[in-house]
């Protein structure tokens, strides 16, 4: 597996925004086990609603793709989200005492709409590369956070209710899929971009990273209100 190139460039060009996302107070609370349960429960509900828009984004990626292989890759992600991940998410939420009707009847938070509609807008206005760069903080960020927390000696492993979340996003399957996404990004960049396009992609990555950080903050804000 070749080392990613475009992601490293985007991260290095937007180190402050990326750091604010992957080292957010919400993430540190997951690591220590001190994150307020109200914050996590709110996040779980919104994350389900996010998955719906995530599936739409990959459906758009299939439409924007130019090769049959790219179409199949995007379509397979849509299938996995719709047929597998959303059901698993419902079951996971039940473990936190959140019933399906509570999730499906919940309104989308503004922070949720801000990020997901930004992703879809970038996909509609640009090409599939713009779309995948907008999705990159979600697609790779969770894998980076999960693996870092799983390997850190500072992670609470004794009485941490969020340890299953960390294990899920540090699993071999999840990280392998995320790495394949980085490789796909490099292939698209090589095929569709010249050096002059990097600045535009960097702006998309920066905005998407800030919006992902806002998604974490959404949970904390809900806990404070509650």
DSSP count for the chain of H helices, then E strands: 12, 0
Nearest CA-CA partner of 212 in 19, 3, 8, 6: 19
Q: What is the pLDDT of residues 191-224, one digit of tens each?
A: 888 777 899 999 999 999 999 999 999 999 988 8
Of residues 195 and 85, more confidence is placed in: 85
Q: What is the pLDDT of residue 64?
A: 96
Mean pLDDT over 39-49 rounds to 96
Q: What is the pLDDT of residues 132-181, one digit of tens each?
A: 999 999 999 999 999 999 999 999 999 999 999 999 999 999 999 999 99
Q: What is the pLDDT of residue 226?
A: 58
Domain ranges of the chain: 36-220
Q: What is the pLDDT of residue 2?
A: 53
Asked whether the predicted pLDDT for residue 225 surpasses 80, the reply is no
Query: Quick check: pTM over 0.85?
Result: yes
Q: What is the pLDDT of residue 4?
A: 64
DSSP assignments along 48-91, one per residue: HHHHHHHHHHHHHHHHH--SHHHHHHHHHHHHHIIIIIHHHHHH
Active site residues: 138, 212
The CATH fold of domain 36-220:
Heme Oxygenase; Chain A (1.20.910)
Average pLDDT over the chain reads 94
Q: What is the pLDDT of residue 1?
A: 42
């Amino acid at each position: 597996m070749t080392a990613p190139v475009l992601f490293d460039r985007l991260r290095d060009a937007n180190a402050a925004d990326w750091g604010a996302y992957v080292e957010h107070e919400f993430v540190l609370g997951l690591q220590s086990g001190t994150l307020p349960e109200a914050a996590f429960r709110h996040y779980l509900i919104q994350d389900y609603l996010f998955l719906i828009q995530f599936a739409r984004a990959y459906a758009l990626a299939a439409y924007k793709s130019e090769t049959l292989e790219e179409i199949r890759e995007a379509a397979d992600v849509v299938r996995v989200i719709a047929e597998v991940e959303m059901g698993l998410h419902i079951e996971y939420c039940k473990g936190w005492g959140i019933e399906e009707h509570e999730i499906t009847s919940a309104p989308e938070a503004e922070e949720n709409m801000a990020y997901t509609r930004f992703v879809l807008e970038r996909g509609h206005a640009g090409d599939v590369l713009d779309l995948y760069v907008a999705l990159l903080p979600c697609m790779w960020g969770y894998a980076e956070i999960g693996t870092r927390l799983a390997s850190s000696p500072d992670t609470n492993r004794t009485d941490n209710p969020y340890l299953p979340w960390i294990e899920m996003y540090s699993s071999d399957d999840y990280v392998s899929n995320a790495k394949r996404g980085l490789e796909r990004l490099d292939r698209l960049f090589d095929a569709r971009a010249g050096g002059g396009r990097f600045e535009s992609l960097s702006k998309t990555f920066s905005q998407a990273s800030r919006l992902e950080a806002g998604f974490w903050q959404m949970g904390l804000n809900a806990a404070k209100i509650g």
